[in-house]
A and B are shown apart, each in its own frame.
Chain A
Amino acid sequence: MTAVPAVRLTLGPVLFNWSAERLAAFYRDVAAAGVFDRVHVGEVVCGKRAPFTDAIWPEVIAGLEAAGIEVVLSTLALPSTPRERASVAATAGDDRLIEIDDVTALPARAGRPFVAGPLLNVYNEGAAAFLAARGAVTLCLPVELPLAAAGAIAAACPGVEVELFAFGRLPLALSGRCYHARLAGLAKDSCRFVCERDPDGLAVDTLEGRPFLAANGVQTLSHGVHAFLPTAAEAEAAGIRRLRLSPHTVDMAAVGRLYRAVLDGTTERAEALGALSAMALPGDLVDGYVRGARGCAPVAAA
C-alpha cells in the first residue's frame, strides 16, 4: 500500500487594507501556530495600499521562513500604473515562489516556478497545461469552478498541484473603480484609504436588507463566507492537493486547525461547520460553487 500524501493548507494573501501593525502581528501568530505549510504575503487588491506595508515584509517573511513555512509572494491582480507594473516585475524576479494573479507578471517570470492565483483564468486542462509548461507548480482555480472541473484539470495535468479556495469571502470581481471611495463621495485618486475601516470588507445588502456582497476598494467579494471542508480522501478523489484559506480578522490559526482536523478525519465535518459558525465571521457560510450550484447557496449539511 502506498503512502497517501497529505492535502495541505495554504494561507492566502490578506485581501483587505490592514495596517502594517496588524499585518505584522497577524503573521507573527501565523508563524507561531504551525498550521499552514505555505503562506502568501503581499498586496493583491490595490497598489495604492502598498507603500504603507512595504517596509514590514522582509521581517514578516524572515519570521515565517524561520518557522519552516514556505512563503509565496503574491502579485497585484489589476496592475495599471508604471509603479504597479514595476512592482510586479520586481516580484517576478524574486527567487521565492510567486503568485501570479494577472497575465502582466507572466513574461517577467520567464519559465520559473509560480502559483497561478484564483484571479488568473484557468478554467480547463488546456489553460492549465499551457501554464504548467511555463512554470506553474500550483493552480488555485477560479472560485466559480465546480469540483468536477478541478478533477478534470488535475487528471490531465498530474505534474501540477491543484488548490481550491476553501475558506473566506469569495473574491468575485475587480474594477478600475474604487467602491469604498465612490460610496464616500471621493475619487479613487484621492481616496483617503477609507477601505481601512472595513478589515473584512464592507457589507453590501439588497434593497430589502438581505446580505449579498462586500466591497473592498476596487474588489467585490461575496457577503457569505465560503467553507469547503473535505476529508483528505474526498479532496484527493477530486484531484485537490491544497486548500486555500483566505485571511479574515477571525482567529485564522483556529480556522486552520478545524480544516486540518476534518482533513485528518479527527473531527466530523458537521461539527467543524458548527464551530466555524460560532466564530465571529463576517457572513453566513456558503459553499455552492464546489457543488456546481450558485456561489451564494448556503453550506450544505454534512
Chain B
Amino acid sequence: MSLELVCPAGTPAALRAAVEAGAHAVYCGFRDETNARNFPGLNFSPAELAEGIRFAHARGVRVLVAVNTFATAGAMEPWRRALAAAEDAGADAVILADLAVLDHAARHHPGLRLHLSVQAAAATPEAIGFYADAFGVKRVVLPRVLTVEEIAALNRAVTVETEVFVFGGLCPMAEGRCALSSYATGRSPNLSGVCSPPEHVVYEDDAGGRTARLGGFAIERTAPDEPAGYPTLCKGRFVAEGRTTHLFEDPVSLNAAGLVGRLAAAGVTALKIEGRQRGKGYVAEVVRTFRAVVDAVEAGRDPVAAERLLAGLVEGGRQTAGAYRKTWR
C-alpha cells in the first residue's frame, strides 16, 4: 500500500464506521482542550480510546491520536497526561503541534511515533527538517495553502512522510497561526481547540432570510431558500471598498478527489479526510467513496466520478480543489 487513507473519528461510533468503511487509519482525540476539535459531544475518554484501538487493530487499521493544541502556560499537565494516555492505549502515532508538547513527547515517550499536526504550519523543507531533527517527527501534515506542484517540490526536499487534506473543511489561513476566532469570541483553535465556537453563534430570522452572528458580528446573511453552511468566520461575507463579498473564502468544502493521482505522484504518503465533528453516516459514506478512489488510483484505473459522488456531502453543496490549484490564490 503506498497511499494511506486517514479518516476522522470524532466519536467511538464514527471510529467503528470509518474502520468498517475501509479506512487505512483513523485519527481522534481526547475529550478536552488538548485536541483541536474540542466540541461538545465529541471525542474520547482514555478508556474509549483503548477500546477503539483494540477494535481498529483487530481489523488492521491504525489509530493516530491528535494532541494538537498549544499547551496552556503554567498548566501543561493535561497535555502530558494525553501523551501518556495515548501511549498506554496503544496509539500508532500522536499528532502534535506545540514545541513544548513535541519536546516532552520526544524526551519522555521515545516509543511513540510523532506526526506533526497541520496546526504547526510547517510548509518549507527547513521547517520540516527542523521538526524531524529536533524531535524525530516521522510525518508532517501539510498546511492547506500549498499547490500540488509545491507539494511535489517539498517531497523531493524532505526525508519524512507527508500527509495532505483531500476532503472536508477548507481553512484559507495558515493553520495554527490564526487568531480571528479569539479576536471575535475569546476562544480560538490554538488556545481552546475551537474555531468559530458554537456557543458564540446566534441566528436571527426575519422575512428577508437568516443572519448568522459570531460574537455579535453579522458574518453571513442568507435568503430563505439559500443553502447555508456553518458560520465559520473566514467563510463569512464582509464589506470592503464598498463591496460585499466572501473576502477570505467562499462557503465551500475541499474536495481533492480528482487530484488523488497527482498527489500520489507528488510523493504524498497519506490522504486526510477532515470531519471529526461529523456523524457516522457521513463518515462511512465519505470513507467508502475515497477508499474506492484510492484503490482505483493504486490499480491504475480511472478514479470514477468521485467529485460527483461526494457532491451531496459538501458544505452548502459547493466544493473546490482549494489551494492545490494555483488559481485559488
Residues of A within 8 A of B (CB): 78-80, 85, 88-89, 102-108, 119, 121-127, 129-131, 142-145, 148-150, 152-153, 156, 170, 172-179, 181-183, 187-189, 202-210, 212-213, 215, 220, 222, 288-289, 292-296
Contact = CB atoms under 8 A, between A and B. Distances in A.
A153 B73 contact: yes
A206 B217 contact: yes
A106 B130 contact: yes
A127 B172 CA distance: 26
Contacts of B70: 121, 123-124, 127
B177 A119 contact: yes
A294 B240 contact: no
B91 interface: no
Contact of B327 (A187, A215, A293): A187
Contacts of B190: 121, 123, 142, 144
Given A85-B125, A205-B238, A215-B247, 13 more contacts: A107-B130, A123-B72, A123-B191, A124-B98, A176-B323, A204-B240, A207-B218, A207-B219, A207-B237, A210-B218, A294-B183, A294-B186, A295-B186
B225 interface: no
**Top 8 closest A-B pairs, CB basis?**
A126-B100, A176-B145, A152-B74, A294-B186, A123-B70, A188-B329, A149-B73, A295-B183
B175 to A, nearest CB: 10
Interface string B133-162: 100000000010110001000000000000
A78 B174 CA distance: 8
Contact of A130 (B99, B150, B184): B99
B239 A204 contact: yes
30 contacts: A79-B124, A104-B124, A104-B130, A107-B130, A107-B133, A122-B99, A123-B190, A124-B70, A124-B98, A125-B73, A126-B76, A126-B98, A126-B100, A126-B104, A127-B99, A130-B100, A142-B179, A145-B191, A153-B73, A173-B177, A176-B174, A176-B328, A183-B240, A206-B217, A207-B238, A210-B217, A213-B183, A292-B186, A295-B182, A296-B215
Contact of A208 (B120, B183, B218, B327): B218
